[in-house]
Amino acid sequence: MFTGLISDVGEVVFHDGGHFTLESAYDPKTIALGASIACDGVCLTATRVEPSAMGAGSRFTVDVSNETLSKTTLETWRPGRAVNLERPLKSGDELGGHIVTGHVDGRARIVDVTPDGQSRRFLFDAPEHLAMFIAPKGSVALDGTSLTVNEVAGTRFGVNLIPHTLTQTTWGRKKPGDEVNLEVDVFARYVARLMEFRP
């Protein structure tokens, strides 16, 4: 389980089918084999961990299933790509974002990016079957980042990103046309499911 607060921006250094290797600033001694790491919001398992070849930090490998490749942006990952990273929530940690499972529901497309003071407003188009779970002032995880929804109109929704988020994550590099991983709020999914069984 995660919170959507990005703790590092890693880089893809190797890709072969469903195998990806990433460089990160994380101490390799703190990553156990089998540990979960959210990579652009996708909960993945570290199958190999070693010290970084570039100095401080670590290099870890993850294996990705065809199901994950079909539902996320990972099929487009190539060496050099920057990736938002988050370690799992530990007991006693502060829950500063919202509850994020790392189980991505699908992809959203950036429709527009406009300046708003020092911040930027992003407009997204979501798949129709997921749009019903997105509500104004509700939470979404986009590329693993916990964000608050500003407005919703049909399948489109907007969020505002502050300068800290733009500089400390991959969001400062995003542009219209890019696709991002979308995880809707877990509580919205369960409420919708329960409503299906109302008499």
CA neighbours within 13 Å on the CB side: how many for 67? Answer: 6
- Residue 159's pLDDT is what? 98
- Could you tell me which of 79, 89, 88, 103 has the C-alpha nearest to residue 22? 79
For 162-188, the pLDDT digits (tens) are: 999 999 999 999 999 999 999 998 877
Mean per-residue pLDDT for 1-10?
94
- Could you tell me which of 107, 123, 57, 55 has the C-alpha nearest to residue 85? 57
Q: Does domain 8-86 have CATH number 2.40.30.20?
A: yes
| Cβ(125)–Cβ(142) below 8 Å | no
- Residue 53's pLDDT is what? 83
Average pLDDT over the chain, rounded to an integer: 93
Measure the N-to-C terminal CA separation of the chain; round to a whole number of Å: 33
Percent of the chain whose predicted confidence (pLDDT) is above 90: 84
- Tokens found for residue 144: 């693993």
- Residue 199's pLDDT is what? 66
CATH of 106-195 among 2.40.30.20, 2.40.50.100, 3.40.50.12280, 3.40.50.720: 2.40.30.20
